[in-house]
Amino acid sequence: MAQALGYTDDAAYFRNRALDYVNLFSQSVGFFRGKQSNGTWRTSDADFKPNSWGCEFVEGAPWHYSTPAPQDPRPSPASCPPAWQSSSTP
């Protein structure tokens, strides 16, 4: 909507913000993960438990957050779980 109204700076800001989720996907474990304020993963790969409830996940576990993001119907294969790559996109 911002783009249609001519607010190109606002449109770019919100587009980038909506697509920033890809920075939370960890290819090494195949799930989205929480990061610390310095940009490192909250847990090591060995300590990451995809069935763990809580921590950086509210009302769920990593499995609950492995479904496609509606704001990005065609994500880059390098920035998404393998399950997304086999799903059909509009």
Tens place of pLDDT for every residue, the chain, 90 residues?
A: 889 999 999 999 998 888 888 888 888 888 888 899 999 999 999 998 888 777 777 777 777 777 666 667 666 666 666 656 554 444
78 part of a folded domain? no
Q: Token digits for 4?
A: 């249609």
pTM: 0.63
2 part of a folded domain? no
Domain that holds residue 29: 24-70
Give the count of domains, the chain. 1
d(CA 79, CA 47): 21
d(CA 37, CA 27): 20
* The residue type at 74: R
13 part of a folded domain? no
81 and 25 in contact (C-beta within 8 Å)? yes
In the numeric block, the tokens 């997304």 are attached to 84
89 part of a folded domain? no
